Structure 1
Amino acid sequence: MSSIPAGTDDAPAPRPAEVRSPLSDGQWHRLHPLTPLFRGGLVLVIVAGVVISNLRDRLVEFFLPSVVPGLDPDDVEDFEQNSGDPIDFILANNLLLWALLALLVVVLVLIGIFYLMWRFHTFRITGDDVEVRQGVLFRSHRRAPLDRVQGVNLTRPMIARLFGMAKLEVVGAGLDANVKLEYLSTANAETVRADILRLASGVQLAEADAAAPGRHASAASVVSAGITGLIVGAEDPAAEPESVVHIPVGRLIGSHVLSGTTVSLLVTIAVIVVGAIVGTPWLLFAMIPTAITFAAVWVRSITKSLRYSIAPTASGVRITFGLFTTITETLPPGRVHGVEVSQPLLWRAKGWWAIRVNRLSGRSATDGQADQFATVLPVGTLDDVERVLRLLLPGFDEADWPAVFAHGLLGPVEADPFTNTPRRARLLRPLSWRRNGFVLAEGALLLRRGFVWRKLAIFPLARVQSVGITQGPVDRMLSVANVRAHTILGPVDGSLGIIDRAAALELFADAEAAAVRAAAGDRSHRWAGAPQHPPIAVAAPITAGETEA
């Protein structure tokens, strides 16, 4: 990696006491030299190989007579008619030197293209922004302001891990606002990520006592470290705390077996079998692609959740997941806009739950990885849920936790604090009217829904944008209303229907005033010097009868 003079677009450099990596000095730097290969060059080489393999006859016919002097056209015609192997043709006509020369030209052209791509792809980290410039013919310049950073993700695809490389993604506050640094060495990626989060927090640290590790390592040690990482897991810094949740592989597989997708597959297979028995045997052939597709999706979803870990750090909550492609994301404080704890009916006997969040990911809703970044607990017990919620909601009032667990997740029970659907409107919520309700806690709005599929949504008031009320004609007849907490787009739904009209109006006024107070006192965008997460410990079980997998 090399440095480039700043030029005319100088920006304030971070103070040396704030950063630890030499790449965070405010100057322009180039990425890892193998970046062009892993950003698409490998695909280009594969495509070129496929094209040459399928069009070899045409290539020999087109290039050889014009390039090689004295080549007999009858020999080329014989090759075309017999469809011989190009290697045999080259050896038979003493064209080995020309073939090696052509191969050398192709290699040099590829190296030249990759060099230009690497040469014009630079980045810098200043005291205000993370910037990336790239492109040879069509130039682009992306900037992520540090005060708008929503998180920093570190991704290590399997092949890149073998070469000791990783890519960083700085998550911005907007659609397609992310800035990617792909690729850096794993050691550089870790230190640069820590510098970005430290600068975004506003903290000022003393210069590191220990020198940074050397940049150059032998190829054997790099590949060995990559293989070790593939087996053991993410190479986290030694100072990082241990995960507060551990998901057994059996529980992870069981959660997929007891999922709605598996039930849908079994129903589909049953329908196909019945149709084949009744008189359409060819329907059995439809089971093959259906089973293959399901198996691929099933295995992929499991491998994405393997090696899951979640732990508190000085820069926020650190979440790691993925077997082949390992992703480590750091979610700074105050970046969670909504939390939802859910439990499908088939998980109830095991006492399993899942947690998803609304957060700015910089990705569109159609991006396949958007939902992956929204899941912070794929499957866990009630104790696991409590540990994760205490990480995600560190400012939640201790007196309100019973409203989350005893009443919100497992309730309703006696002395239920939730305002639920009135009895007169129970026909509109025939199964869940006793659970369908809300409570405005200190600093958060809790929405409880579902009888078959239990859900509890928690919205920190400092992140709530607005609260809306709607009524339809039937709602007006029954004097009920629907409320909705508006936050950023995400899987956590902020709507709650069929609430008493007077209670909805009271919530509208109270939530508005509470949200204004919470936003005025919120300082989470600058978390430097804020109290660290306390040790996560679960005392006595919250309820009896929960099973541990």
Structure 2
Amino acid sequence: MTAPDPNDGPGGAPSAGPGAPPPALVRSPLSDGEWHRLHPLTPLLRGGLFLLVVIGIVVANLRDRLIAIFFPWSGEDGVDVDMQGDPVDFVIDNNLYLVALLIVVGVLAVLVGGFYLSWRFHTFRITDDDVEVRSGILFRTQRRAPLDRVQGVNLTRPMIARLLGMAKLEVIGAGADGNVRLEYLSTENSEAVRADILRLASGQRLAEESARREAAGSRVAALGQTVSRGLTGLVEGEEAPVAEPESVVDIPVARLILSHVVSTTTVMLILGVVAVAVGAARGTPWLLFAIVPGLIGVGAYWVRSIIRSLRYSIAPTPDGVRITFGLLTTITETVPPGRIHAVEITQPVLWRPFGWWAIRINRLSGRNAADTSADQFTTALPVGTAADVERVLRLLQPGVPADEWGMIVAQGMVGPGRRPAPVGEDDAEATDAAADGFRTSPRRAWPLRPLSWRRNGFRVTPDLLLLRRGFIWRRLAIVPLARLQSIGIDQGPLDRALRVAGLRAHIVSGPVYASLGAIDRDDAVAAFDDIAHAAVAAAGDDRSHRWAEYLEAPVDPESGS
């Protein structure tokens, strides 16, 4: 599977090419800095769909001929099989069997040859600085993903690929349409390569080099470490699969299905079915043509979202948070520390009696705006209890002090309790602020937030900006200050009349909307300065982009991912 390389040593023996990763940090033979090819069955998965489409077109055009061959009695039963203009008849009438056979063989040879050349010219390599992919037969393309800009690594196993023991690896870059895809690799190799990429991107090699410089290691000690790694490799095997870590959250299937049943999508489906029934009863076909297509689309999305959420798990690993989901197509996503730009905890009004919540995140996906699959990588918890939410939040934001989680879960998610009887607006607001911990909207903002003005508020900690809003749909946005791009204040004519303003945190695009309106004007101005200074301090202290570089002791790469 290895492409020839001019850097090979004498006798064809491969030599360590420039930029080869340190052998102590990689486990897969595909992570040696040399060019490699993908799995030999890759053309079957990438071109198999095209062949199925071609076969479908041929069968559709020859359906009458096929009916006459396999059901010869159909013409006697009054079914008129019209084969006029059938290309098969043309071949038979003109005795062109050999020509037709040569054409079919030629077309198949061109297709198979094209798939083979596409596989042969599609190579990749993993160096100590980046992941590179070269592809194309006539028009060559080369893409490179720097390791210090890796936002995560996704492992996708479509149903057919799982049956063949293959998986698709996608290295998430920082720019739009900046992902690098390796499709396909064997499942064992893809797991090992994923761990190698994340380990190289973590800065662990810098930490180990620093440790080696400080330690007075002898040649005997170095030889002993080499022998130890060799024995470990013999015992574990070169392509031993990475063990699946245990999930910190267990979602029962019944809860998952019921959470989709008790949702606004189900309400839309019910209303659509009622509208279709009314239209059919009153004989208004235009209503059916207008609603039925949309009803089918909503129903398909409803079923697809349930299937996609099955087999969900989330667990910590040394390389970040590992999220797995999907029944037919299994997707494993590893999000390194510091790559999450915002977290939002939501609770629809229909979930409130059950005490269920969902978590979504904003992160750089590396996909273009037309890629609809990007939405499936924004759900960190499809449905869970308050205890499940706290466990997931501790994984997504590991740097938050332990004493802050009680406030975030109790006050940030649920919100303040019953407001005491007002003895004056200022006194009531001071009492609420002391009991709540959030700076909430003043009573005069009631016209702008008639239901949620008591809950609408924000809080700034040394690490996070918390934005709480919504009464019918409860939402809590959590923005790490180290990931904050900027902060803004807006004020419209009605806001100026009521002496309130809006506060918005500028972050990367995604489902999390980090904005809050109807905040006291003085509080918003004070928060503007506080958040700006706190963000600068948090960014200066942040080291999450090199999450293994500052460990007290290097992590042994042979112990797992």
TM over 0.5: yes
Q: Distance in 1 between matches of 2:278 and 2:106?
A: 62
1:47 equivalent to 2:49? Answer: no
- After superposition, what is the alpha-carbon deviation per residue over 1:45-76, rounded to whole angstroms, capped at 9, x for unaligned? 1232234335569xxxxxxxxxxxxxxxxxxx
- After superposition, what is the alpha-carbon deviation per residue over 1:85-104, rounded to whole angstroms, capped at 9, x for unaligned? 839976x9987666555443
User: Any residues of structure 2 matched to 1:222-233 within 5 Å, and which?
Assistant: none
Letter aligned with residue 387 of structure 1: R
- After superposition, what is the alpha-carbon deviation per residue over 1:248-270, rounded to whole angstroms, capped at 9, x for unaligned? 11111111111111112222333
1:434 equivalent to 2:440? Answer: no
Q: Distance in 2 between matches of 1:271 and 1:50?
A: 36
The alpha-carbon distance between structure 1 residues 531 and 356, as it changes in their structure 2 partners (threshold 3 A), is: farther
1:179 equivalent to 2:183? Answer: no
Task: Give the corresponding residue for 2:130.
Answer: 129
Q: Of 392, 395, 401, which residue of structure 1 is paired with 2:399?
A: 395
- After superposition, what is the alpha-carbon deviation per residue over 1:131-184, rounded to whole angstroms, capped at 9, x for unaligned? 001001111110000000000001111111111111110001111110011111
Q: Distance in 2 between matches of 1:332 and 1:11?
A: 27
Q: Of 30, 37, 45, which residue of structure 1 is paired with 2:37?
A: 30
RMSD: 2.9
1:16 equivalent to 2:23? Answer: yes
1:237 equivalent to 2:242? Answer: yes
SS at 1:505 equivalent: helix
Contact 2:192 2:241 survives alignment (8 Å):
no
Q: Distance in 2 between matches of 1:324 and 1:480?
A: 50
Contact 1:124 1:130 survives alignment (8 Å):
yes
Task: Give the corresponding residue for 2:233.
Answer: 210
The alpha-carbon distance between structure 1 residues 213 and 417, as it changes in their structure 2 partners (threshold 3 A), is: same
The alpha-carbon distance between structure 1 residues 341 and 127, as it changes in their structure 2 partners (threshold 3 A), is: same
Q: Distance in 2 between matches of 1:246 and 1:480?
A: 43
Q: Distance in 1 between matches of 2:335 and 2:114?
A: 37
User: Any residues of structure 2 matched to 1:349-498 within 5 Å, and which?
Assistant: 349-413=353-417, 415-498=435-518
The alpha-carbon distance between structure 1 residues 517 and 143, as it changes in their structure 2 partners (threshold 3 A), is: same
Q: Distance in 2 between matches of 1:110 and 1:367?
A: 28
Contact 2:269 2:299 survives alignment (8 Å):
no
Q: Distance in 2 between matches of 1:170 and 1:81?
A: 52
- After superposition, what is the alpha-carbon deviation per residue over 1:289-315, rounded to whole angstroms, capped at 9, x for unaligned? 454333322111111111111000010
The alpha-carbon distance between structure 1 residues 294 and 142, as it changes in their structure 2 partners (threshold 3 A), is: same
Task: Give the corresponding residue for 2:69.
Answer: none
Contact 1:397 1:442 survives alignment (8 Å):
no
- After superposition, what is the alpha-carbon deviation per residue over 1:354-397, rounded to whole angstroms, capped at 9, x for unaligned? 00001111123442122210111111111111110000010012
Task: Give the corresponding residue for 1:120.
Answer: 121
The alpha-carbon distance between structure 1 residues 6 and 423, as it changes in their structure 2 partners (threshold 3 A), is: farther
The alpha-carbon distance between structure 1 residues 54 and 394, as it changes in their structure 2 partners (threshold 3 A), is: same
Letter aligned with residue 301 of structure 2: V
Paired-residue identity, %: 62
The alpha-carbon distance between structure 1 residues 278 and 115, as it changes in their structure 2 partners (threshold 3 A), is: closer
Q: Distance in 2 between matches of 1:433 and 1:80?
A: 73
The alpha-carbon distance between structure 1 residues 391 and 81, as it changes in their structure 2 partners (threshold 3 A), is: closer
Letter aligned with residue 369 of structure 1: S
Q: Distance in 1 between matches of 2:491 and 2:7?
A: 60
Between 1:393-402 and 1:422-431, the stretch displaced more is 393-402
1:522 equivalent to 2:557? Answer: no
SS at 1:490 equivalent: coil
Q: Distance in 1 between matches of 2:238 and 2:89?
A: 45
Task: Give the corresponding residue for 1:506.
Answer: 526
SS at 1:456 equivalent: strand
Task: Give the corresponding residue for 2:297.
Answer: 293
SS at 1:378 equivalent: strand
Task: Give the corresponding residue for 2:169.
Answer: 168
Task: Give the corresponding residue for 1:72.
Answer: none
The alpha-carbon distance between structure 1 residues 366 and 347, as it changes in their structure 2 partners (threshold 3 A), is: farther
- After superposition, what is the alpha-carbon deviation per residue over 1:259-287, rounded to whole angstroms, capped at 9, x for unaligned? 11111222233344445556636645766
Q: Distance in 1 between matches of 2:41 and 2:510?
A: 35
SS at 2:260 equivalent: helix
Letter aligned with residue 374 of structure 2: A
Deviation at 1:19, TM superposition (A): 0.8
SS at 1:22 equivalent: coil
Deviation at 1:529, TM superposition (A): 5.8
Q: Distance in 1 between matches of 2:362 and 2:551?
A: 24
SS at 1:159 equivalent: helix
The alpha-carbon distance between structure 1 residues 214 and 109, as it changes in their structure 2 partners (threshold 3 A), is: farther
Letter aligned with residue 452 of structure 1: I
SS at 2:340 equivalent: coil
Q: Distance in 2 between matches of 1:445 and 1:410?
A: 17
The alpha-carbon distance between structure 1 residues 96 and 503, as it changes in their structure 2 partners (threshold 3 A), is: same
The alpha-carbon distance between structure 1 residues 287 and 485, as it changes in their structure 2 partners (threshold 3 A), is: closer
The alpha-carbon distance between structure 1 residues 87 and 392, as it changes in their structure 2 partners (threshold 3 A), is: farther
TM-score by length of 2: 0.81
SS at 2:375 equivalent: helix
User: Any residues of structure 2 matched to 1:181-330 within 5 Å, and which?
Assistant: 181-204=182-205, 207=229, 209-211=232-234, 213=237, 237-238=242-243, 240-277=244-281, 280=284, 283=287, 288-330=292-334
Between 1:255-264 and 1:358-367, the stretch displaced more is 358-367
Letter aligned with residue 37 of structure 1: L
SS at 1:452 equivalent: coil
Q: Distance in 1 between matches of 2:52 and 2:474?
A: 48
Contact 1:32 1:184 survives alignment (8 Å):
yes
Q: Distance in 2 between matches of 1:111 and 1:81?
A: 31
Q: Distance in 2 between matches of 1:149 and 1:166?
A: 19
The alpha-carbon distance between structure 1 residues 471 and 81, as it changes in their structure 2 partners (threshold 3 A), is: closer
**Gaps in structure 1 of 5+ consecutive residues:** 58-78, 216-234, 533-549
Contact 2:460 2:466 survives alignment (8 Å):
yes
Task: Give the corresponding residue for 1:3.
Answer: 3
Q: Distance in 2 between matches of 1:316 and 1:4?
A: 35
Task: Give the corresponding residue for 2:423.
Answer: none
Contact 2:343 2:360 survives alignment (8 Å):
yes
Contact 2:188 2:241 survives alignment (8 Å):
no
The alpha-carbon distance between structure 1 residues 531 and 261, as it changes in their structure 2 partners (threshold 3 A), is: farther
Contact 1:6 1:28 survives alignment (8 Å):
no
Q: Distance in 1 between matches of 2:271 and 2:550?
A: 52
Task: Give the corresponding residue for 1:538.
Answer: none
SS at 1:499 equivalent: strand
Between 1:429-438 and 1:287-296, the stretch displaced more is 287-296
SS at 1:53 equivalent: helix
Q: Distance in 2 between matches of 1:271 and 1:55?
A: 39
The alpha-carbon distance between structure 1 residues 339 and 6, as it changes in their structure 2 partners (threshold 3 A), is: farther
Contact 2:324 2:330 survives alignment (8 Å):
yes
Deviation at 1:185, TM superposition (A): 0.7
May I ask how many residue pairs the two structures share in their alignment?
A: 490
The alpha-carbon distance between structure 1 residues 447 and 214, as it changes in their structure 2 partners (threshold 3 A), is: closer
